[in-house]
A = this chain, B = another copy of it.
């Protein structure tokens, strides 16, 4: 892994472009992201950026990958810090970390979980990054189940057979987890996304004001009860 001087400089420039882009997204939003503005702020001209990213879309793809990596790392850190705790606490920690990352990185969250852009296709590398984040949640749930720490209540609505067989076929495709574990992970993910997205958009603030985090914690508690974490 020898890196020449030129390669190091190139790497630095690549990073500077990304960080400048995030700065502008935070200030003006994704739609207003402008190559010319980035170049201006970096003290160079717009066409020069094309030596690094062949188009605006490719830059956005790089930003998406960057955001997913940060997101996944944050979840992993939360999981690792709760390593000594029991499964419920680990689950709670990762769920809360999901929300907190969004609070700390609203622009990044909006970019990867915001409105899809018709015609824009996400790179396979970016999709792989997205799965990595989800896997943190799914693996944790899987371990808790294997340890017998999850007992859904008696009146938990049974999964319809079509859904179960769909989950089964995922396992064949190499995904970890039994049907119930996969379902719990998907349901958790959906719920967290809903709360977080509504919060970021400002729809919850009108109702909850300074109690948004309290609401999120309550929602997590409800998930714990619903799935029978112990």
Say yes or no: is A160 at the interface (Cβ < 8 Å to chain B).
yes
Segment of A3-11, A37-45, A188-196 engaged in the interface with chain B: A188-196
**A215–B198 CB distance below 8 A:** no
Q: Which residues of B contact A204 (CB under 8 A)?
A: 186, 190
Say yes or no: is A1 at the interface (Cβ < 8 Å to chain B).
no
Number of copies of chain A assembled together: 2
Say yes or no: is A130 at the interface (Cβ < 8 Å to chain B).
yes
**A28–B118 CB distance below 8 A:** yes
Bound CA–CA A214/B191 (angstroms): 16
Segment of A15-23, A70-78, A79-87, A150-158 engaged in the interface with chain B: A150-158
**B27–A201 CB distance below 8 A:** no
Do A193 and B197 form a contact, CB below 8 Å, given A115-B110, A222-B187, A226-B222? yes
Do A170 and B207 form a contact, CB below 8 Å, given A191-B190, A202-B116, A221-B157? yes
**A193–B186 CB distance below 8 A:** no
Minimum CB–CB distance from A87 to chain B (whole Å) comes to 17
| 28 A-B interface contacts by CB (under 8 A) | A26-B118, A27-B118, A28-B118, A29-B117, A29-B118, A30-B115, A31-B117, A113-B197, A115-B115, A116-B200, A155-B225, A157-B218, A162-B211, A163-B218, A166-B208, A166-B211, A170-B207, A186-B215, A187-B219, A189-B194, A190-B191, A190-B195, A191-B194, A192-B194, A193-B197, A194-B194, A194-B195, A226-B226
